[in-house]
Structure 1
């Protein structure tokens, strides 16, 4: 009999709340604030909540943008979203509750348990990063938890069967022994077993069929589900407008290995400064220059005028007087030498005339010619001395000038110069760098030193040109220059220096660089570009082109990662096409269609 009672249990309903699966309910409102249009969607799970039951509210906030490149429903990120639970008459029943970002861009989540049944409303306030305030109220009804009366019916049914069984057994025993006392004694063991089975059956029924009805809750976060969309439809003209491009997924070699931070540095031997040799006043050279101008080695950039002190000026004046006196003396000697030269030339003409007439010997002509030559030399020497003395007198001034020349050819990177400024000796006026080639200095941890020294290949990226990957190999574009033999005792890192070409001088001294030193060898893996990967809540997705106007947002598992691409371990097959440009617009389309 006890076995038959237990066999009845599987045939009965286990008491799940019929028709109540806890599915989500969605409410939407369009709100205008500061001449902008926002769409607020509240997803409530479970729908029709009950007292004592925790409810999750997923709040998705988007802004409607008309026209332009990013037209559509744009998620409002980094907003400060709070809610407050009010009774229908406006009386608050909770403190202000802050929502947290969950499930993707523009999606916020908050949890709350209602203690009593009744009519409530959610008062929501969202403040965007530009201080735009969005307010909205949403009604919500909370019902009492229903009682499962089936369990009481089952208890009564089990009790009736048990009592009926005991009554039948008592009647048979009473007839057998013709004595009620002997019948009760014989029935006692069976009655004890039967009542024990009855208690076990009731407990089992209450375990499988709770008095308070329960319902299955939806699996996973409502906020996450609110932001996921497996398939997206993007019209062809919109694809062209958004610049959406795709690429075939295929095995390829990706540069992956040791990641390190680095700095762009000018080569020390190609960095120079223009320094003031003596104190003085500055002025420009043949042209004015500024930061970014190119100069040649030896070009006069500026001129320094050095003004003498009072004692130096007095000494200079004495020198000038001596030079003037000597100059007059030499000028007088030059005049006398000129007179002697004229007399010598006159005597030479007379001697030649007499020689031609036969009145004078040849010796006299020769002596006259030697006298003219000697007089010419004396006159030239006296004249040169006078000119040198005059030039020296002109150069003796209280101001000396020093040309300031560029020590190397290159680009001016720093200017500390003002025309007419009084500067002291040793001050640097200009810094010049030849940035046609630069050094990339990476700091590598000592544990990675063996891997780094075994390869000469690397890539790097700088924030100024995000998305552009610079390659380093063994060619003229870039090469490994040196690995420092010293480990920094503070950071436990080793300096690894690469020499790279810098066409167009795009890389600047002091730029930050993110370097990946290639230790992957020649291994080819299924890979996609880094720009094709989207991260949401720690999970990685790509947008797969299904053909025509259809894209699929697909979860992928990544392996080795480089600056240009990432290895795909699962989620994609060779030959499929993924979006590599227009990703933000695909995300916006996914949110708008969800």
Structure 2
């Protein structure tokens, strides 16, 4: 055989092998109408998103055809926590086809394809209507999700013919599961709820009246060295000594030598007065002087004794202030806590000299607080008998509530502030863990006492888009519509939707800002992902 013939034969063999590798070797294809060797039509792709048993299932798969393998790309998410869904990282999945006649076919994926994704392969054995169910079993979470009614087609051509036409609607934005699992993400349905009518305003947290105190220096003095030193955050009981202060007013007007000289003079005068009393007693016994002279000598002795005692105390006090130690016999001022609580301010340095009126320590009892809301005068009549309020503060994702069970309304102001045109409304609430701090600003909703039943979504689902309240509505597990809404009453972390979202539609309740940012920056890929 010539070299040319050998080359021709090799080329023919290579073409035959290549044709088989490109997918034309499925058994039974001739029986499906491809005897002419034409390319088999591609099966339509389907997807489903379902929530059940604390699970979110987003699944993509080709139309089911008898005898054809159909891999189910099942994305499982642990959706039990409304504050943030979690990717499923452990378990096995069983897919069950249950036909109308009661027959069942089961297909198992013993392990994850990768985090969150299982890929059981379904190969139906007979055509007809069926129900597709996926059962997840694992340590992290377990549950059953009904994927819904499916049709097993007898041929690929039948599957293609049954595919619904593509509908042109509002544009959807992709946000892949792999992206959702990397951020705080959750969805919630728009549902009918009973909402409290309310008035929104601003407020501030304050200490309860009588549960805050400031301790100031009553006189000029020096903070005692070796005495108690209050510090920020210190827990104190009523009556605890927080500062000891030694007066220094006298020491600022004289010096030690003068004080010692005055003390010595007082002692000498006392000695002289005592000798005069002794002499007068002797002379009175000899009837040399009248009795009234003895009385005068005794009075002079008492005055000299008092002067000497005062001089000694003054000398001891001066020496104590110079050394930083207290003098004897009550020569220090003790500043005591007037209530149980914690030290909220402290400016105490041992040995430091302070002026009268200087604030040294502040104490508050933070176990209960007041919420003071400022209501504009036009809304004041609506909250005159407000049964409660809800509020949020920076740094906390949750909303706080004050009602008859958790607190009380203290007072509603009777005068409109001339500068702000507002009326104060006070509520008292418990703060057992001390998480809330006096001075925090709050966004407050004061309940009016009216209720209504309306379609509502979590307030966390609403984001600001160029001044318009906007939400992201789920079309499928990885696609979303951006819609402007018209909000209504806000109550208990929920907001009424007057227009833009229908009951039953799911909105992104956690991660809406991340989705908005991704769409604005173009970080979301334009095409799907490969499994």
Instruction: Using structure 2 for the length normalisation, give the TM-score.
Output: 0.51
Three-state SS of the structure 1 residue aligned to 2:413 is strand
Q: Structure 1 residues 557 and 434, CA, compared in 2 at 3 Å: closer, same or farther?
A: same
Q: Answer whether contact 1:285 1:300 (CA < 8 A) is retained.
A: no
Three-state SS of the structure 2 residue aligned to 1:447 is coil
Q: Structure 1 residues 509 and 315, CA, compared in 2 at 3 Å: closer, same or farther?
A: farther
Is the counterpart of residue 473 in structure 1 residue 403 in structure 2?
yes
Q: Structure 1 residues 493 and 414, CA, compared in 2 at 3 Å: closer, same or farther?
A: same
Aligned equivalent of 2:184: 243
Three-state SS of the structure 1 residue aligned to 2:380 is helix
Residues 136-285 of structure 1 mapped to structure 2, 5 A cutoff: 230-283=171-224
Residues 477-488 of structure 1 mapped to structure 2, 5 A cutoff: 477-488=406-417
Q: Structure 1 residues 558 and 287, CA, compared in 2 at 3 Å: closer, same or farther?
A: same
Aligned equivalent of 2:276: none
Q: Structure 1 residues 322 and 473, CA, compared in 2 at 3 Å: closer, same or farther?
A: farther
Q: Answer whether contact 2:260 2:315 (CA < 8 A) is retained.
A: no
Aligned equivalent of 1:291: 232
Aligned equivalent of 2:60: none
TM-superposed CA distance for 1:544, in Å, is 2.1
CA distance in 1, matches of 2:272, 2:457: 90
Q: Structure 1 residues 576 and 285, CA, compared in 2 at 3 Å: closer, same or farther?
A: farther
CA distance in 1, matches of 2:479, 2:190: 17
Q: Structure 1 residues 406 and 315, CA, compared in 2 at 3 Å: closer, same or farther?
A: farther
TM-superposed CA distance for 1:585, in Å, is 2.6
CA distance in 2, matches of 1:538, 1:290: 46
Q: Which residue of 377, 381, 385 maps to 1:446?
A: 377
Q: Answer whether contact 1:285 1:301 (CA < 8 A) is retained.
A: no
Q: Answer whether contact 2:197 2:451 (CA < 8 A) is retained.
A: no
Q: Answer whether contact 2:229 2:350 (CA < 8 A) is retained.
A: no
Three-state SS of the structure 2 residue aligned to 1:431 is strand
Three-state SS of the structure 2 residue aligned to 1:468 is coil
Alignment RMSD: 3.5
TM-superposed CA distance for 1:471, in Å, is 0.8
Is the counterpart of residue 564 in structure 1 residue 505 in structure 2?
no
User: What do residues 195-220 of structure 1 show as CA deviations (whole Å, max 9, x unaligned)?
Assistant: xxxxxxxxxxxxxxxxxxxxxxxxxx
Instruction: Using structure 1 for the length normalisation, give the TM-score.
Output: 0.46
Q: Which residue of 399, 402, 417 maps to 2:348?
A: 417
Residues 91-110 of structure 1 mapped to structure 2, 5 A cutoff: none
Three-state SS of the structure 2 residue aligned to 1:531 is helix
User: What do residues 58-101 of structure 1 show as CA deviations (whole Å, max 9, x unaligned)?
Assistant: xxxxxxxxxxxxxxxxxxxxxxxxxxxxxxxxxxxxxxxxxxxx
Is the counterpart of residue 539 in structure 1 residue 468 in structure 2?
yes
TM-superposed CA distance for 1:566, in Å, is 1.5
TM-superposed CA distance for 1:255, in Å, is 4.1
CA distance in 2, matches of 1:489, 1:237: 56
Q: Answer whether contact 1:273 1:407 (CA < 8 A) is retained.
A: no
TM-superposed CA distance for 1:295, in Å, is 1.8
CA distance in 1, matches of 2:409, 2:390: 11
Q: Answer whether contact 2:196 2:452 (CA < 8 A) is retained.
A: no
TM-superposed CA distance for 1:480, in Å, is 0.7
CA distance in 2, matches of 1:508, 1:425: 30
CA distance in 2, matches of 1:408, 1:443: 29
TM-superposed CA distance for 1:323, in Å, is 9.9
Q: Which residue of 414, 418, 431 maps to 1:502?
A: 431
Is the counterpart of residue 573 in structure 1 residue 502 in structure 2?
yes
Q: Which residue of 316, 319, 334 maps to 1:397?
A: 316
Q: Specify every segment of 5 or more residues in structure 2 that has no aligned partner in the other structure, as ranges.
A: 1-168, 274-308, 321-330, 527-531
Q: Structure 1 residues 259 and 554, CA, compared in 2 at 3 Å: closer, same or farther?
A: closer
TM-superposed CA distance for 1:551, in Å, is 2.7
Residues 48-87 of structure 1 mapped to structure 2, 5 A cutoff: none
Greater Rg by CA = 1
Q: Answer whether contact 1:275 1:430 (CA < 8 A) is retained.
A: yes
User: What do residues 567-593 of structure 1 show as CA deviations (whole Å, max 9, x unaligned)?
Assistant: 112332322221111213322443425
Q: Answer whether contact 1:541 1:553 (CA < 8 A) is retained.
A: yes
CA distance in 1, matches of 2:407, 2:454: 25
Q: Specify every segment of 5 or more residues in structure 1 that has no aligned partner in the other structure, as ranges.
A: 1-227, 327-389
CA distance in 1, matches of 2:469, 2:412: 36
List, as ranges, runs of 4+ consecutive aligned residues in structure 1 with deviation greater than 6 Å: 318-326, 392-396
TM-superposed CA distance for 1:559, in Å, is 2.4
